[in-house]
Amino acid sequence: MELIRQQKLVVQLCTDHALLEEFLAAPAQVTTREGLTVGAESLAKLNPGQLRQFARLLRMRRLGEAGTALPLTRRALGHRFAELFTAYALQNPPPGKRLGQDAIAFVNYLLQSNPTKPLNPVWLMSLASYEAARVEVEWLGQRKLLVRKFPHALRRLLTAFEADGVPKGDFSGWTLAVWCSSSSGRQPRHWLW
């Protein structure tokens, strides 16, 4: 059925920025490569403005989800959260079907893309990695036991976040975080040292 291939291509165009630009420059080239036959001509007539608008709406939806998964990271970054997430989402389609996977991939992207120029505040990446680890255990439930070490004093930092605004200070120190799930259907236990 041609609609299967058409839907596949529309989904790809709206989640893969580079492919969208290639398609808008030379639609026939892309539809041929994707194996479209009867439906190719019709898809080539898709409105570029509408495609871009839909792609942007999808990124906004992903941004909203990532902000829910990483609430303190979003607070600490302020408007830069949206900028950084958009830069990530333009290069990376949604990685999976489950809620939280995109947020984890975003944190990995931050870890890989800024090794020389760390983000401010200095503890930002420790906080983001901590929130990503929490999503991995508490949302995705893929691990029975997770142990992570962070180069900042996270317990003090999390307490400082209980007040309004973004905590000041460098929160130097070390933290060991442990999550342990005893059975499915139960909230995992969690310790910070």
Partner 1 sequence: MGQKTEISNLLANLPRLGAGLTYHEPFLADLLQKQPEVDFLEVHGDRYLDAPPARMDELAMLAEHFTVIPHFTGLSLGSAEGLDAVYLENVAHLIKQLKSPWWSEHIGYTRANGILLGQPAPLPFTKEGIEVMTRNIVTARRAIAAPLILENVFGPLVWPGSEMDPARFIGEVLGFGGVGLLLDVADLFTYAPGLGIDPIKLLDRLPLDRVVQVHFSSSHDSQADSSESRVQPVAEGVWQLLNAVVTRAPVRCLCLELNDNPPPLGDALKEVERARTVGRQYKRWN
Binding site for partner 1 (CB under 8 A): 1-4, 6-8, 10-12, 14-15, 39, 42-43, 45-47, 50-51, 53-54, 56-58, 60-65, 67-68, 74, 79, 81-82, 85-86, 93-94, 96-99, 138-139, 141, 184-187
Query: Least distance (Å) from partner 1 to the CB of residue 107?
Result: 15
Closest to partner 1 by CB, 70 vs 153, is 70
CA distances from 8 to 28, 95, 145 (A): 16, 16, 37
Query: Least distance (Å) from partner 1 to the CB of residue 9?
Result: 8
Closest to partner 1 by CB, 132 vs 153, is 132
Half-sphere exposure (CA, 13 Å, Cβ side) for 157? 29
Closest to partner 1 by CB, 134 vs 148, is 134
Six-digit token pair at 167? 């905590």
Query: Least distance (Å) from partner 1 to the CB of residue 48?
Result: 11
- What whole-number distance in Å separates Cα of residue 82 and Cα of residue 64? 9
Closest to partner 1 by CB, 171 vs 179, is 179
- What whole-number distance in Å separates Cα of residue 178 and Cα of residue 62? 28
Query: Least distance (Å) from partner 1 to the CB of residue 78?
Result: 8
- What whole-number distance in Å separates Cα of residue 7 and Cα of residue 157? 46
Query: Least distance (Å) from partner 1 to the CB of residue 88?
Result: 13
- What whole-number distance in Å separates Cα of residue 31 and Cα of residue 28? 5
Closest to partner 1 by CB, 143 vs 156, is 143
Closest CA to 91 of 19, 26, 34, 30: 19
Is the preceding omega at residue 48 within 30 degrees of 0, hence cis? no
Query: Least distance (Å) from partner 1 to the CB of residue 10?
Result: 6
3-state secondary structure at position 9: helix
Six-digit token pair at 179? 């999550």
Closest to partner 1 by CB, 50 vs 112, is 50
For residue 136, what is the DSSP state?
Answer: I
